Copies of this chain bind each other. A is one copy, B any other.
Amino acid sequence: MPATPIYRTAIEAAWIDYNGHLRDAYYALILSYATDALMDRLGLDAPYRAATGNTLYTLEMHIHYLREVHHSDQVLVGVQLLASDHKRIHAAFGISCVGNAAVAATAEIMLLHVHQGDTVASTPFAPEIAAAIAALASMSADAPWPGPGSRRMELRGR
């Protein structure tokens, strides 16, 4: 689990598919809600969005599916900031089930700070947001990374 717990949820019955476990897309939904929680933590919350017209857009998402998650599970999401610049955040997430140390999924998400005006354009973080990003990044700088990193997808022998 990456260093900083950011989100926890039960598993809704509608998220279970014909295979009897959490459908792949609902791992992404849990990650999306965890990203909302990350935005709240960094000051990119609803009042900020309403006041500034700024928000985060997702540019790219990679998920590794490592273990099945079931309706009876509670899941925890941890976050670790791998990198950032003046307008982007590269965040890593780990999803695990309460009571099970093994990671159920890992993910990386690239986020872009934008202003939604007449057009949508990228815009730099304000100093207080940049400071919050730096503070969170420093908290998890030494955390061990629990799973495979992102990579070019290809068939390899196994």
Known contacts A25-B29, A155-B85; A64/B60 CB under 8 A: yes
A79 CB to nearest chain B CB (Å): 15
Q: Does A113 belong to the interface (CB within 8 Å)?
A: no
| Distance in angstroms between the alpha carbons of A49 and B121 in the assembled complex | 47
| Distance in angstroms between the alpha carbons of A62 and B23 in the assembled complex | 15
Number of copies of this chain in the oligomer? Answer: 2
Report B-chain residues with C-beta under 8 Å of the C-beta of A35. 24
Report B-chain residues with C-beta under 8 Å of the C-beta of A151. 150-152
Instruction: Contact check, B31 vs A18: say whether CB atoms are below 8 A apart.
Output: no
- A23: contacting residue among B32, B68, B149, CB under 8 A: B32
Instruction: Contact check, B60 vs A153: say whether CB atoms are below 8 A apart.
Output: yes
